[in-house]
Every structure is written in structure tokens, then in C-alpha cells.
Amino acid sequence: MNVDDVDSITVLGAGNMGHGIAEVAALAGYDVVLRDIEDEFVRKGYDQIEWSLNKLVERDRLSQEDADAALARVSTAVDLGEAVADADVVIEAVPEKMAIKKEVYTELEDHAPDHAVFATNTSSLSITELSEVTARPERFCGMHFFNPPVRMDLVEVISGAHTADETLDLVEDLAESMDKTPVRVRKDSPGFIVNRILVPLMNEAAWIVHAGDATMAEVDATTKYDMGLPMGSFELADYVGIDVGYHVLEYMHEVLGDAYEPCPLLSEKVEAGDLGQKTGKGFYDYEDGEGAEVPHDEGSEAVKNRLLGVMANEVAGLVENDVADPAAIDRAVKLGGRFPDGPAKMADGAGIDALVDALDDLHDETGEERYEAVAYLRDLAQSGEGFYGGEGSSDDAPAFDDISVEVRDGIGHITLDRPHRLNTISIELMDELSEALDALADDDEVRAVLLTGAGDRAFSAGADVTSIAAGGGDAVSGVEISRKGQQTFGKLEALDKPVIAGIDGFCLGGGMELAMCADLRIATERSELGQPEHNLGLLPGWGGTVRLQRIVGTGRAKEIIFSADRYDAETMADYGFINEVVENDGFEERAYEYAKRFAQGPPVAQRYTKRAMHNGWEDTDSGLEVEAQAFGLLFTTSDLMEGIAAFTSDRDPEFTGE
């Protein structure tokens, strides 16, 4: 069976994950049966799907017609036989208890069609052990969605010991058809990829505080600001639910040994029922206190190296045991954990030898197994190479990590490729963008440049504040960050070729400043634009104070910056910032066709037109002189002769730039 043969999907379990998976499947066009053991649970899950679809409509992420069609594809059931009678794929999302899941699969085997594929949404339990309850272990795998499934892009596709390659191929294709990014986990291993990285990291953070080696504020400041992670370790534990991570850790401890012994700090919270935001209190107090207020200036280099060392050790263990390669691990953790960078690349940046030394010192001091460096990590340290430079590295690691570049039909297409962070702009992304622009500037085959953002949620939501402003309060570094952005974005503006920004979704702050450097801007109806820097006590620092007023006028520019409001695409078109507003559907194709139109223009004339206009911004006489000199130069070009010949022959010109 391949993905084209899949028509009907049954989701077992109507809780948060179950109804979310059902919604995603229905949006992808599948007929979905949502099943739970009581009608009350099923009805609540169905109502949540309807609520979520309506929210997508309110936010212009979905049309009302498409939302109604998706909901119509969802039916509900309590009787298991009825629920799976026509199922091609059954996705199980019942509570994360091995005994409960085994009981479900034992009953499921009696009712499901012989051809049906079983996929469990478990976040850590053994795929192999679950599959052996059924009579179809070769057609059984893990399909681990992340919460909430509607918003999170990652799906871990996990092989059990008996899983056939055809099953993994089918489930990967199924995930892609749902507009998700599948990452294959080649071997059944507790925690798979993302939880295998995040849960030990959470545990180590707790051990650091438990041992009195640092305060909770120091640990969270380090993880959130010095490491650039989306939340502090304790803040994240509260957000996810301390019990959720703790139960995963318990299972890993049971299967993998004492290196994964849960810290008493975690067990105490679980026993007390202080599980985080959902109970009003966890490591932070959300009822009587101020919640998670993480100081930005209390980071610790020692804590950072300790956490990076533990994380690198987990990555090395996964690679050593052939669970996944570094590129897959990095991709999964960036998507599932919203890391600014992958853990393998972060470890390479810190230096593998330094991290092994930190682990060795901790092991000598404490004797704890969790600090014992795995053989593969030690080999990398001795060789002086990192995950992307040694034998275990991926052969097809991309040339760029945070952007992608494609040249086709004379268009150099740059995509900001950090959808897990709403394509926010980091220092690393700016470095890659600068390199890509230099290459496109020198490529005579490139006649126009198109700049877009990956996914349909954001062109770019601005600067990656946590990674760029790590440590904070340093005026000198702030000036350098501003200049770096100005210089990088300036390359886009100075490019001697038409530049088109294709905006879909959020275009905020630094993202809008980047779009200002394009010659033309096209945006979807659902796009939101704005300069929110004043809400942060900042000002636009990557050229916005200068460039925006040139485009929309001084009065409008001040309104946009001072208000810090968000503006829809139609309003920004009225202001002159957007050249064309298009429908949400088919945006990529429309943006490409828009760029292609300008790629067919006369390259020499376009080059000198930009130069004349830019010179004229500050000095009218200078601009007019460039215009006159360019006008004379163009009289000598072959393109002029081609343009005249095409005009007299009533055909489209074919300019060559000569």
C-alpha cells in the first residue's frame, strides 16, 4: 500500500493529541474517524476540532469553505469495530502507559482490516514491544506528532525491530501529505530523538540546582539567553508539565539505566502535584507569583558547558547506535524543540574536546554515569573533528543551515529557512544571507532575486531576540549587531538586479526591515506587517528608520514605528509598501511568476535604473547625472537593438544583458 491508497484514517483517543491529529488529517483531505471509550470524550474532542478550525478561519489561515469541508470529513465513534471498519491507517493516541496501549492493540487486532497499518503516537515507549502485541508487526511503526499537532511541523517516524521499510515509507509520505516534516528514527530507542535530547537536558538542569551548583535563575538565564533556547529549562518543564517529562525519564531510567535517574527535585514536584502551568504552580508560581520571569543577565559559562556536554553526549549516543545521523537529529530538535540551532551543530560550535573535558571533570568529581562520555563522542574529541566533520557526519549536510538557495529560470530564490522559529533572523542567518547574496551578485545567470520565508506562517517575525541579545545590556555589542544587519540587508538593496520580497504571514520588525531592501514586495491577504520595536523599548535598528520613510513617507513611517501596531497587507498596499496583494492559496507559484516577470527585463537598464534612483534619494543632482550617463551608455547595448526590433515586430524582447 502507498499513500495514494489511503482514504480513511482512524484516530484512537480524542484527547489533546488525538483530536489534533484528527484535525490535521482532515485538513489534508482524509476521511477521519475519531474514537474514544466514552461519548463525552469523543464529543469534547470533536468540539475542539471545530473550535480550532474556526480559529484558523479567524486568523485568515483557512477559508470558511475549507474549514467546513474538513469538519465534514470527521466522524466520531465509541464502538471500536465501527471506528476501524474502513480504516487504511490507524493512529493511536491513548494515554502514555504501556499497559493501556497494549490492551488497545490487542482489541484493535480483532477488528481492523487486514491491510491496515498501525501507527502509535507514543513519545517514548518501545515500538517493538507494542508491535509484538499485534499480528502485523511489519506494518506497525511510531508516528510521533508534537503538541499542538496543528501548529508543530515535526513528525518522528520510528522503526520498530520488525517494521518493514514499506511501512516507514508510507507513514513518511502520509506525514508529508499532512504538510508535516517527517524525520525517520532508524532504530527503536527510548525517547527517540527529541525527547532523548530534551528530557535529559531538563533532568541535568534539575541536578545542577539540586546539587547547589547554581540557582534556578542562573540555569534558566543560561538556557534561554546564553544558549538561545526558546525557554529556560525550568520554564519549559512548567510549560510542558513536569509530570510529562518525569514519566518519560522514568521509562528511560528503567530501560537505559542509572545515567537517566530522575533528579529528586522532579519527583518532589510530581508527588506534591505541582506540575507547572496546568496546576498553577511548578518550579514557578503562576497563581500567587509572577510566573516564569527569567533574568537575562545571570547566565553561567560553567552551566552552559555542562548542559552542552550532556546534550552532546546524547547526540553521540544516538549516532553511535544508528538511531539517526547528526543532520536528522538537528532537524528534529529544531522543529520539535524550537531550538535556534541543532544540538549537534551547537556542540561543534562549543568544541567537542572542551565538552568532553567538562564531562570528564564532572565524572571524576561525582562518579555519576550520566557524565560518562560515550565512545563516539570521545573519538570525535580525539580526532579534533565535530559531528559534521567526522566519520559519523551526514554526507548530504546542506551548504546552508538557516537559508536555502535555488537558481531557476534566471531567478535566484532565497528562502529564510527557520520555520520552527517563524524565520526569525539570527547572526548565523545574516552570515549565510550575506554569502548567498555575494554568490548571486556574481552569477550572470541570475537576472532577479526572490526572497521568501519557509512555511506559510511567516516571511520573518523579526530578530531572534534571545539568540542575538544573549547577555543583554552591552551597548557596544548592540551597536555591532545593528551595523551587521544594516550592512547585510544593504547588500540586498545594492544588488544590481531586481529584488522581490514574497511575504506570506508575519513580516515584523527586522523581517520588515529586510523586506524594505527589496525593490518590490508582494504579499498574501493574511500577511501582517509592523515594526514592534517600541514595544520592547527599542527602535528599528537594521535600517528601518531610514528606509521606511523613503517608501511610505515620513508621516506614515512615524505612525508605523511609533504605534508598534500590526497592519494588514491591504493597508500596507494603500500606504505604498506592498506592490501587490494576492490570495493565500498558491502563493509560492504566484510569487515566482511575479519575480519571473522582472527577470525577463533588460539587465543593464535595470542595473543603472536602480543606481540612478538610489543616488537621487539623497542628492537630486547626483541622481540626474547618473541617469544621464546611464542613458547614454544604454545607447551602445545590444539590448537596446533587441528592444527596438521586438517593438517593431510586435513580439516580446529577449534581453541578454549585452
Q: Which residues are catalytic?
A: 123, 144, 156, 195
Q: Check residue 277 and report its DSSP letter.
A: G
C-alpha cell of 227? 544558549
Q: Contact, 202 vs 324, CB < 8 A?
A: no
C-alpha cell of 46? 470533536
Residue whose entry in the numeric block shows the C-alpha cell 491491510 = 115
Q: H or E stretch including 381?
A: helix 375-383
Q: CA–CA separation, 322 vs 642, rounded Å? A: 59
Complete edge-to-edge strand list for the sheet that includes strand 74-77: 74-77, 31-35, 8-12, 89-92, 117-120, 140-145, 154-159, 181-185
Q: From residue 136, how far is each of 90, 133, 151, 184 by CA, in Å?
A: 13, 9, 31, 20
Q: Contact, 11 vs 91, CB < 8 A?
A: yes
Q: CA–CA separation, 270 vs 220, rounded Å? A: 20
Q: CA–CA separation, 177 vs 162, rounded Å? A: 25
Q: Is 505 left (phi over 0), alpha (psi -120 to 50) or beta?
A: left
CA 615 to chain centre: 39
Question: Any residues with CB less than 8 A from the CB of 322 and at least 6 apart, and which?
Answer: 186, 187
Q: CA–CA separation, 648 vs 658, rounded Å? A: 20
CA 149 to chain centre: 13
C-alpha cell of 445? 545567470
Amino acid at 141: C
Q: 575 in helix, strand or coil?
A: coil
Using only the alpha carbons of the chain, give its radius of gyration. Answer: 27
Q: From residue 273, how far is each of 66, 261, 276, 278 by CA, in Å?
A: 42, 20, 9, 10
Burial label, 35 (beta-carbon count in 10 A; 0-12, 13-18, 19+): buried
C-alpha cell of 387? 559531528
C-alpha cell of 92? 493511536
Q: How many CB atoms lie within 10 A of CB 11?
A: 31
Q: Check residue 261 and report its DSSP letter.
A: P
Q: H or E stretch including 354?
A: helix 352-366
